[in-house]
Amino acid sequence: MKGLKIKKSNTPNNKYATVISQNHQLYLISVNESSGNHQVMAEISGQMAYSISSVEQYPVVGDRVEVSYSENDDVAIIHRILPRKSLLSRASSGVGQGVQPIAANVDTVFITMALDHNFNLRRMERYLTIVWDSGAQPVIVLTKAGLTTDLENQLAQVSEIALGVTTFVTSDSDFSEIANFLTQNPQTVVFVGSSGVGKSTLINRLLGYEAMATSENRESDSKGRHTTTNRQLFSLANGTQIIDTPGMRELQVDTGDSSATFADIEELATRCKFRNCTHKSEPGCAIIEAVDTGKLSAERFANYLKISRENRYSRMNTTEIAADKFRRHFGGKSGAKAVRDIKKGKRLN
């Protein structure tokens, strides 16, 4: 992925740095110097701020940036973002509200989900869609294995929707698979998941010290309080960099391609009798047949349709969204029937 289109600075004293923490538009960066890495606060330059036209052009945790800085400065100035190899982002809350970048230059995204009330295959599909679109590789991390009595069935369910994706199972006393994975493959990773699934606890174990605050879940619904409020980056001795993120209450996809997440449904669609099949009621629809025969779960297909619709809506303005809802709600109805529905107060959704 490309960075900002700003002319490269010719200042010989400029240095390169990595964004390791972000709080609004104030950044903590690690500056690469001959004497080692040095941490300092930073902000973007006036020229860079003037050139920015979208939220994706602001630095995020994991970004490599060019900065001007000397040891006498209290704050470094960020002049440009170096080209990104990946950008993990999600749609901002509310339709048509744009994109919220999460982290940059990530190799692997650990999709973290607890094996308790938090276990949700539909949410996992959303995470997979976002990760595949980012340019990073997804890995499933199932935490709190001691709280489930149905592990074998849950693993089978995960393997059905996370086709070919590596899956790790961890407990409070055993996180060795992830530790070995990071030891053998130094890289930049990010942990994502809902609050209370154990991301911070797992990161503390990997780091070997209490870097992250943790909290207990409510027993009634397995929901935890937000203990991570900012995105931040930590380093292991072998060079692996770990990024933690706040728990995500809402998870909408942006303009990403969901075909990798729903490869089985995309393949079924190629077998439909009609090329423009909408998979609603057409004869010869391979997807409807798969649902009817139990080869494809109705819940997975419904989530596929919902995420595809969100992808489409994210590219529309408010007027286009309203028109699309009207067509879906009143398609094939007479004008009189449409008016009666409106009078009855039926919603467009």
In terms of domains, do 217 and 302 share one?
Answer: no
**Residue 256 domain flag:** no
Q: What pLDDT is attached to residue 339?
A: 46
Residue 222's pLDDT band, with cuts at 50, 70 and 90, is: very low
End position of a domain, from candidates 38, 61, 81: 81
Binding site residues for GTP, as ranges?
193-201
pLDDT digits (tens, 9 = 90+) for 284-297: 888 888 888 888 88
**Residue 108 domain flag:** yes
In terms of domains, do 211 and 144 share one?
Answer: yes
In terms of domains, do 296 and 337 share one?
Answer: yes
Distance CA 191, CA 109 (A): 6
**Residue 194 domain flag:** yes
Which among 231, 143, 233 is positioned nearest to 188, based on CA atoms? 233
Which among 131, 144, 154 is positioned nearest to 224, based on CA atoms? 144
Query: How many domains does the chain divide into?
Result: 3
pLDDT digits (tens, 9 = 90+) for 58-82: 999 999 999 998 777 789 999 999 9
pLDDT digits (tens, 9 = 90+) for 20-68: 998 888 999 998 776 667 899 999 999 999 999 988 999 999 999 999 9
**Residue 178 domain flag:** yes
Give the CATH number for residue 38: 2.40.50.140
Query: What's the predicted TM-score (pTM) here?
Result: 0.72
**Strand 36-44 versus strand 75-81 pairing type:** parallel
**Residue 286 domain flag:** yes
Instruction: Record the tokens describing residue 115, joined without a space.
Output: 């094996």
Unique residue bearing structure tokens 């006393």: 173
Give the CATH number for residue 206: 3.40.50.300
End position of a domain, from candidates 51, 81, 111: 81
In terms of domains, do 111 and 166 share one?
Answer: yes
**Residue 275 domain flag:** yes
Binding site residues for Zn(2+), as ranges?
272, 277, 279, 285
In terms of domains, do 53 and 93 share one?
Answer: no
Angle ∠(228,189,1) on CA atoms, nearest 5: 110
In terms of domains, do 96 and 190 share one?
Answer: yes
In terms of domains, do 92 and 240 share one?
Answer: yes
Distance CA 255, CA 56 (A): 13
Measured torsion, CA atoms of residues 125, 127, 130, 131, in degrees rounded to the nearest 10: -110
Distance CA 117, CA 203 (A): 22
Q: What pLDDT is attached to residue 27?
A: 95
**Residue 93 domain flag:** yes
Distance CA 71, CA 149 (A): 57
Binding site residues, as ranges?
193-201, 272, 277, 279, 285
In terms of domains, do 42 and 125 share one?
Answer: no
pLDDT digits (tens, 9 = 90+) for 86-135: 999 887 655 455 788 999 999 999 999 999 888 989 889 889 989 998 99
In terms of domains, do 150 and 206 share one?
Answer: yes
In terms of domains, do 235 and 281 share one?
Answer: no
Kindly give the residue spans of alpha helices, DSSP state H, lying in the chain: 46-51, 121-134, 151-161, 176-184, 199-207, 263-269, 286-292, 298-313, 318-330, 335-343
Distance CA 135, CA 107 (A): 8
Distance CA 9, CA 317 (A): 37
Which among 127, 163, 6, 129 is positioned nearest to 77, based on CA atoms? 6
Q: What pLDDT is attached to residue 142?
A: 95
What is the DSSP secondary-structure string of 29-83? EEEEETTEEEEEEEEE-HHHHHH--SGGGS--TT-EEEEE--TT-SEEEEEEEPP
Domain that holds residue 62: 15-81
Which among 205, 206, 164, 202 is positioned nearest to 183, based on CA atoms? 206
Mean pLDDT of the chain: 79
Residue 119: its H or E element: none
Q: For residues 111 and 124, is the Cβ–Cβ distance under 8 A?
A: yes
End position of a domain, from candidates 211, 244, 277: 244
Give the CATH number for residue 311: 1.10.40.50
In terms of domains, do 77 and 159 share one?
Answer: no
**Residue 4 domain flag:** no
In terms of domains, do 174 and 311 share one?
Answer: no
- Mean pLDDT across the stretch 245-260? 59
